[in-house]
Amino acid sequence: MVSDNSAKEELKRAIDIVELIGRYVELRKVGRNYVGRCPFHGDNDPSFNVNREKQSFHCFGCKKGGDVFSFWMDYHGTTFPEAMRDLAEKYGIPYTPSFYSPEEKKKSRARRSLFRINEISAKYFEHTLEDPKKGAPGKTYLDRRKIPPDSRAAYRLGFAADEWDGLLKQLKKAGVDTGLAVDAGVIVRGNGGKLYDRFRGRVIFPLLDQRNQVVGFGGRVLDASVPKYLNTPETPVFHKSDFLYGLPAAAPGIRNSGRVIVVEGYMDCIALQCHGLSEVVATLGTSLSKSHIRKLKGYGSEVFLVFDADEAGKKAAVRSLPLFLNEGVSARVVVLEAGYDPDSYVNAFGLDAFTEHIEHAPGLFDFFIEQQAETGDGSVEQNVRILEAVLPLLSSIENDMQRALYVQRISQHIDVTEQVLWDELEKRPDGRGRQNTVTRRWISPAGGTIEKRFDALHILNLLVHHPETIETLKSYNCTCLIEDAAVRDILVAIFQLYGEEEQCSFDFLHDRLESEEARRHLREAYFEGSRFTGDEVDLALAEIETKIENRRLAESLAGAGHDLEALNRVLELKRLRDTAAGRPPATVQS
């Protein structure tokens, strides 16, 4: 076994960060970096960069970045000890956890316990389904729904017998703390403290995360009981609004086809997979969330929504439109004939008929407009109703250019001038009119400090991409020009390391910096590339030297005060330096 530090370094050497992140984010090579849409924020224009040489990632939009461990923790919501364990197991690097904070240990231990309880429960449900007597009702149901044994095994389907304490007994036998079983959501503590199984008389659908760990369960009744579906409550490892059922199995198909089919329920997802449509996931009956879409856009470029054909299903599709627009993801709507869901439809008419609906699915925005106009007569009153419905949608679009394009399309559709639409948008309390400041904020994110940071970031760029300048800039004591404390910390670290060894690696320097702002500046400097050509490097050094001398001259003049003799000595010294360097006399700036 090896220590945390040596295991961490060995893992960094073993892991190709582009390959690892590429499993969750669609990347394409641009120069020396790989670029994609950030999974951590709404990213219309790809701003998420991954660099194989530096084994690092950075988003220029939300500023998240770091190494493979940072990505794993942020993407999967794990602790550092869990990230180390997950990646060590994945890449076959043995190690023994050593020093972690008490809080990290407690959180990691609690999550491990929940995963263990869920795994024990999943195996119990699987074994119950295979039991000739107890599992018979579940088998009959799955046979009727045409789910073959291989699909049952692939999705780890199970059955909870109609017993109050079947699972409870199994967990006690395994030495599980019943309080933790309650925390995991598989056991319920009733009135008076009595414990009993949450799932009884239900077909069980284990919920597997992207690491194929059981995070929770869904259960479906076999009769008319309510609720029809019952899910694990929210736990530290399961969040219903973030979860997509079937994603681990669907991921390869999504990558191959570039599209993802989103349905509402477990059976819809499994039925379509059984018929050969592999790129299918389900939302557990909840509305699509930002988290859902951010996960999906890392796998495919187009999403097809297959909701029920009733009004509730159509409204659910329309509600997701602003989310897709703001995340920059193309979405289409598949509407089946009334009375059918994906499961019943594909079993009745076959996969080809279902695929035909996919091929002719309208865009989500066009579907929205059609829904508003389908019962109207083209009258002024109808156009007013459409306008009232569409203004909140336009107002919710965060990207200025995108909003302008949709204003243009709506203007053409309902025969209203664009100016009227912009005027109405500006009247809304939450509206974003033509003069929205989002773009201005993006262009100048530092606000009033942008001029202050200009020289600092140029000097940092020189040091990072032209290490031959380190010794010269160190001799200039150029840190006197840096007002940004985070950038100054980077320069100090570079100069200190240069004194110890001529080359300092990105990893070593990044880990040495204490503040996240300093690490962010360093990542951005590396990822943006050099700002200077070969000739410009020398010019930049000369300009920096001049700035430093002018600054010192100004300080000397300020210190001399009204002492004319001291002033003359300072000015004469400056003249001699300029003459020796072949430069015209510098203008002293107060």
Tell me, what CATH number does 344's domain have? 3.40.1360.10
Residue 224 lies in a domain: yes
pLDDT of residue 395: 84
Q: Clarify whether residues 317 and 349 are in a common domain.
A: yes
Q: Which tops the pLDDT comparison, 558 or 161?
A: 161
Q: Is 425 helix (H, G, I), strand (E, B) or coil?
A: helix
The answer as to whether 590 is a domain residue is: no
- Tokens 């904070």 found at: 101
* CA torsion, ordered 390, 394, 395, 401, to nearest 10 deg: -170
CB burial class (10 A; 0-12, 13-18, 19+) of residue 388?
exposed
- Mean pLDDT of the region 88-105: 73
Q: CB pairs under 8 A, 24+ apart, for 223-227?
A: 225/201
The reply to whether 434 and 456 lie within a common domain is no
Give a yes or no: residue 491 inside a domain.
Answer: yes
Question: Do 186 and 248 belong to one domain?
Answer: no
The CA distance from 466 to 474, in Å, is 13
> Residue 55's domain is classified under what CATH number?
3.90.580.10
Query: Residues 361, 363, 368, 373: what is their CA dihedral angle, to the nearest 10 degrees?
Result: -70
The torsion defined by the Cα of 457, 460, 466 and 468, in degrees rounded to 10, comes to 140
Does 588 map to a domain? no
Per the CB < 8 A criterion, the answer to whether 36 and 46 are in contact is yes
Containing domain of residue 457, as a range? 447-581
CA atoms of 207 and 118, how far apart (whole Å): 10
**To the nearest whole number, what is the mean pLDDT of the chain?**
84
Closest CA to 481 of 583, 537, 536, 549: 549
CATH of the domain at 124: 3.90.980.10
Q: What tokens were used for 262?
A: 């989103």
The answer to whether residues 275 and 349 touch, using CB atoms and an 8 Å cutoff, is no
Q: In Å, what is the CA distance from 194 to each residue of 179, 197, 227, 433?
A: 12, 10, 22, 59
Count of domains observed in the chain: 5
Q: Indicate whether 310 and 384 sit together in one domain.
A: no
Q: Are residues 232 and 273 in the same domain?
A: no
**pLDDT tens column, 155-193:** 999 999 999 999 999 999 999 999 999 999 999 999 889
Q: Which two tokens stand for residue 44?
A: 């219309």
pLDDT band (50, 70, 90) for residue 228: very high
* Whether residues 280 and 384 fall in one domain: no
Which one of 363, 392, 426 terminates a domain? 363
**Alpha carbon 299 to chain centroid, angstroms:** 12
- Residue 572 pLDDT more than 70? no
Q: Is residue 96 part of a domain?
A: yes
**Rounded-to-5 percentages of helix, strand, coil across the chain:** 55, 10, 30
Q: Same domain, yes or no, for 436 and 460?
A: no
Which residue spans within 128-265 are E strands per DSSP?
158-160, 187-189, 195-197, 202-208, 214-221, 229-231, 259-263
Task: Answer yes or no: is pLDDT of 444 > 50.
Answer: no
Tally Cβ neighbours within 10 Å of residue 387: 17
Q: Is residue 369 part of a domain?
A: no
The enclosing H or E element of 56 equals strand 56-59
Position 562 scores a pLDDT of: 56
Whether omega for the bond prior to residue 445 falls within 30 degrees of 0, making it cis, is: no
Tell me how far apart the alpha carbons of residues 199 and 230 are, in angstroms, rounded to a whole number.
Answer: 8
Check residue 92 and report its DSSP letter: T
Q: What is the DSSP string of 267-332?
A: HHHHHHHHTT--SEEE-TTSPP-HHHHHHHHTT-SEEEEE--SSHHHHHHHHHTHHHHHHHT-EEE
Residue 138 CB neighbours (<10 A): 26
| 257 and 233 within one domain | no
Burial class (CB within 10 angstroms; exposed 0-12, middle 13-18, buried 19+) of 159: buried
Which of 401, 420, 440 is the last residue in one of the domains?
440
Residue 221: pLDDT band with limits 50, 70, 90:
very high
Least trusted range by pLDDT, from 144-153, 165-174, 388-397, 546-555: 546-555
Residues 6+ apart with CB under 8 A from 562: none
Domain end among 391, 417, 440: 440
Q: Is residue 113 located within the same domain as residue 216?
A: yes
Residue written as token pair 């003359």: 568
The string of pLDDT tens digits covering residues 375-424 is 556 677 777 888 888 888 888 887 777 788 888 888 887 778 888 888 88
- 411-439: average pLDDT: 70
546 within domain boundaries: yes
pLDDT digits 0-9 by tens, 273-310: 999 999 999 998 777 888 899 888 888 889 999 977 77
Same domain, 461 and 564: yes
**Residue 447, pLDDT above cutoff 50:** no
Smallest CA-to-CA distance from 209 within 320, 86, 36, 94 is with 86
How far apart (Å, rounded) are the C-alpha atoms in residues 530 and 469? 13
| H or E element in which residue 569 lies | helix 564-581
Residue 233 lies in a domain: yes
pLDDT-based confidence at 213, cuts 50/70/90? Answer: very high
Q: What percent of the chain has pLDDT over 70?
A: 85
CB 334 within 8 A of CB 314: no
pLDDT higher than 60, residue 448: no
- Indicate whether 152 and 96 sit together in one domain: no
Please report which residue ranges of 397-504 form alpha helices under DSSP H: 400-414, 418-427, 438-443, 450-465, 470-476, 485-500
d(CA 32, CA 48): 13
Instruction: Name the band, by pLDDT with cuts 50, 70 and 90, for residue 269.
Output: very high
Residues 322 and 383 in one domain: no
Q: Which of the residue ranges 265-269, 305-309, 373-377, 560-564 would you say has the lowest mean pLDDT?
A: 560-564
User: Residue 441: pLDDT band by 50, 70, 90 thresholds?
Assistant: very low
